Amino acid sequence: MANQGDFKPGDLVWIKNPHNYVHAKVIGLRPGAGSLPEDQLWELDVLPRKLYLRADDFEPVHPPKDPNAPLKYMSREWVEQLAAFNDSATRYLADNNDKAAMKAALESLRKLGYVKPI
């Protein structure tokens, strides 16, 4: 459950709805709502109109993950990618003409964070 302190004007949020989510921007507390109890209403900018909702009716938008960002060290995905690198590197060492294995090894190194894309 969200609190009043969890949001500030300009935050992007998803409005919870049983059928889907609606994207909105937090404007602030409803004018004159400063003296209301915890169920006070927030003003949200949902183009082309404004809504007044309780804080537990919406949640923050998490920024999208950068597809070129390296995986978190020793996470499950990182360990799986390390195994994929070992497989492709072994294939390339066995046959130096295996371009697909070389590309796969380089892509694995990029995902592991050892090689930066140019």
* Residue with more model confidence, 69 or 4: 69
Q: Are 108 and 88 in contact (CB under 8 A)?
A: yes
pLDDT, average across residues 65-87 = 88
In angstroms, rounded to a whole number, what is the distance separating the alpha carbons of residues 66 and 8? 25
HEC string of 14-29 equals EECCCCCCEEEEEEEE
Secondary structure (3-state) at 42 = strand
In angstroms, rounded to a whole number, what is the distance separating the alpha carbons of residues 64 and 12? 12
pLDDT, average across residues 83-95 = 95
Residue type at position 35: S
User: 4-60: which CATH topology?
Assistant: SH3 type barrels. (2.30.30)
DSSP class of residue 45 equals: E
Query: pLDDT tens across 17-60, in order?
Result: 655 556 678 888 776 655 655 557 778 777 656 667 778 877 77
pLDDT, average across residues 77-84 = 93
Is the pLDDT score of 102 beyond 70? yes
